[in-house]
Amino acid sequence: MTRVVLIGGGGRMGQALAGCLLDGVVPGLELAGAVDLATHENQGKDLGSMSGRPACGVKLGDNLPAVAENGDVFIDFSFHTGIRERMLMLSTLGKAAVIGTTGLTPEDMSTLDELSASMPLLFAPNMSLGVNLLAALVERAAEGLRDKGYDIEVTEMHHRMKKDAPSGTAIFLGEAAARGSGWSLPEVQKDGRSGMEGERPDNEIGFHALRGGDVVGDHTVRFATDGELIDLSHRATRRETFAIGALRAAAWLQGTQPGRLYSMKDVLGLEDT
């Protein structure tokens, strides 16, 4: 059995991951530990009870080094602050890690790229198999529609508690659209519009973030031209969707050799377009 330790185990995703692990949704994985901030309201609670299941004997702690030896693969859905320090520590122990944390800085990503040479490391801003398939379709569509007069807009909606905007998944899809269009996303990204913006330029990808209710995740990439709209969309209805994808990534990563920063494309066996 591959032993899994959850970083950010007290949050919504941590509880979903624990529940899926305890239910054996992805065979060959077992819950070996979970950590979160010392101030988290769930500190000391049993992960089984937290996820609405019988007590499992694994309690939420706050000391990652203390449980590091218990795990083979670590799944990190915690807040992005401290991601570099956490991964540096795990790399010295020869551990593997799946990172679903969003809001990472360019410096964070640079560190992950460097560490991927010495530890099995997989990063994805969205662990859903469907979203990653959608990104491949978006890139292919953008490539096929390149220089044909189609404007690209990305809209997303999440629950009221989400902190970052646009979402990491929206940026992920925008990057796919930019690659297919032959653009660099930072050069064409436009976050929202207000006031006298003037006419929309040709080389632009617009992002629009909606927040409210308990929406798990709703993303659409729209290609618009005179007389035609093409929408490529994904809607997540359960948080377990992302948990199952992360666990599939953990199972795939175990035993994989380091060498580069892996993604869900590798798990799905998708070739670059």
Q: Which residues are marked as active site?
A: 158, 162
Contacts of 24 (CB under 8 A, 6+ apart): none
Q: Which two tokens stand for residue 180?
A: 């297919």
Write the single-letter amino acid at 9.
G
Polymer length of the chain: 273
Of 111, 229, 226, 220, nearest to 173 by C-alpha is 220
Q: Is the peptide bond before 166 cis (omega within 30 degrees of 0)?
A: yes
Q: How far apart are CA 2 and CA 29, in angstroms?
A: 5
Are 252 and 164 within 8 A, CB to CB? no
